[in-house]
Amino acid sequence: MKRVLTISLLAAGLIGCATSAPQLETEHSYQVEWIGERPLIDRSHLTITLGDDGRAYGNAGCNHWFASYTLEGDKLSFSAPGSTRKMCAPALMEQEARFLASLSTVERWDFSATEQLRLWPAEGKPLRLWPESK
């Protein structure tokens, strides 16, 4: 009897210590690491922030971008993004174009086993992001 009680208390303690699943946060920036099958150019900085007001924005590597978004459960979609119009090196402009085009294809989100945020298109590889430090 004593052994059953000990095991039960241990199990209850472990359940209480279990970490909760990560959640997609609004008003928090996420830094892009991969766009589909390709990693970002070294030292380029692309971000996504989902505002509480249904507007998304961030840095596209060269320009600032903005769009509206809809979030319902694990479903996420962006309107066609707009951006400022600064010119940068051709490789950065190509990466920025791929990033902005990929936003319009996002249909859902999840977190990987390593707690990396993934934004999935209907087909293909996801955008992969990490939360920026607060």
20 phi/psi in degrees, rounded to 5: -85, 155
The predicted structure's pLDDT at residue 43:
87
Give the count of beta carbons closer than 10 Å to the beta carbon of residue 20.
5
Which domains can be identified in the chain, with CATH numbers?
A: 25-131 (2.40.128.270)
Beta bridge partners of 67: 56
> In this prediction, what percent of the chain has a pLDDT beyond 70?
84
- Residues with Cβ within 8 Å of 39's Cβ and at least 6 positions away in sequence, in order, are 33
Is the model's pLDDT at 53 over the cut of 60? Answer: yes
- Of the pLDDT bands very low, low, confident and very high (cuts 50, 70, 90), residue 2 is low
How do residues 34-52 score in pLDDT, each as one tens digit? Answer: 999 999 999 899 999 999 9
76-84 average pLDDT score: 98
Q: Which amino acid is at 7?
A: I
Long-range contacts of 46-53 (CB under 8 A, 24+ apart): 46/95, 46/96, 46/99, 47/132, 48/119, 48/129, 50/24, 50/25, 50/26, 51/26, 51/27, 52/26, 52/27
